[in-house]
Structure formats: structure tokens, C-alpha cells
Amino acid sequence: MPLQNDMKKQNGFTLIELIIVCAIIGLLSAICIVRLVQLIDKAREVVAKANLCSLRAAIAIYYGDTKGLCPVSLDNTRRIRGGETLPEFIPRYMQKIPQATLRRKVTHNRSNNVTVISTENVDKGITTEISDEGGWIYSSVSGDIRINCTCKDSASLDKVSGCIYYSNYGHEE
């Protein structure tokens, strides 16, 4: 009889209990990893919006310093326009052109290339000029700059209507 009492007093977990706990931990970690990936994509898009705002602010300061002239291009070259030497955009107004960091599944998700176009009608013209190469697209006539991408942002992937494209950041209604 003493052998049966000793077995009843043993504490511990059964194999079934351990398997159930492992399954619950696995399920919770799978949910957390998916959510973490979504948050990383969202953070990258927030960085892209912040970089876009920084570029627009630098262009606006340039516009004010040059009495109404937009930069011809966003690089470190001095330009002459109308007989006047214009200051270089880099490094005077920005140290360097920031990257347009987009969600990971976009093929051109980290680029700081600037495509310069000259179009008068920004609302109709610049959106038709988007070549979907990543980076930035800049109109030297109007001073408008956008992300050079026609992909939807991560918030729009689950929506049927009301989609926001990277090229329309800052122009949402």
C-alpha cells in the first residue's frame, strides 16, 4: 500500500497538459509575429510621410530664399536661372535626400532617387508622370514632390474603397 500513496502524492504535469500549453504559446506567438510585421510596415510608411514633409519644408524654404523660384533639381549643383545663380539644394537645405521607405512587399521599397519632371498642371500632370520606380518624383515648375510609386499603402490593402496610394501622400482629401 505505501507504493500507491507515493504515486498519488507526486506533483507534475501530464503530457497532454504540456502539449496544450505549447499549442497555446505557438498560437499566440504566430498572432504576435503577424501583427509585428504589420506594425513594421506601418512604421516604414510613417517614416516615408515624415521624409516627404521634410522635403516639402526644405523646398518651401528654398522657394522663400530665392524669392519665388523652385529648385531646378534636388542635388548639390548650383544652377543659373534667368542670369541669377541659385543656391544648391544639398547640403544647404537638406544634408541628403532621404529614402522613400515603403512596405516590404513593394519591390522598390527603399530608394532616394529623384525623378525631375517639368509640368505646369500638378494635379493632373504629376500623377500621370509617375513611373513606379520608387524614390521621389519632383516637379521643378510647381515645387511639388511625391513618392514615385503607384502601389497602395498598407492601410488600403484591406479596404475596397477609399484606397490611398503612395503617390497621393500629402494630397489626401
pLDDT single digits (tens) 51-77:
888 999 999 998 888 888 888 888 887
pLDDT above 70 covers what percent of the chain? 82
Mean pLDDT of 32-37: 88
Going by their DSSP bridges, the two strands 84-86 and 100-101 should be labelled as unpaired
Per DSSP (E only), the strands in the chain are: 79-81, 84-86, 100-101, 110-111, 114-117, 136-139, 145-147
Residue 106 has pLDDT above 60, yes or no: yes
pLDDT of residue 160 exceeding 80, the answer is: no
Among the ranges 12-16, 77-81, 106-110, 164-168, which has the highest mean pLDDT value? 12-16
Question: For residue 25, what pLDDT is reported?
Answer: 95
pTM over 0.75: no
Give dist(CA 146, CA 52) in Å, integer.
7
Radius of gyration of the chain (CA): 27
- In the chain, the percentage of residues whose pLDDT exceeds 90 is 12
Looking at residue 71, its pLDDT comes to: 85
Q: For residue 150, is pLDDT > 70?
A: yes
The pLDDT value recorded for residue 27 is 94
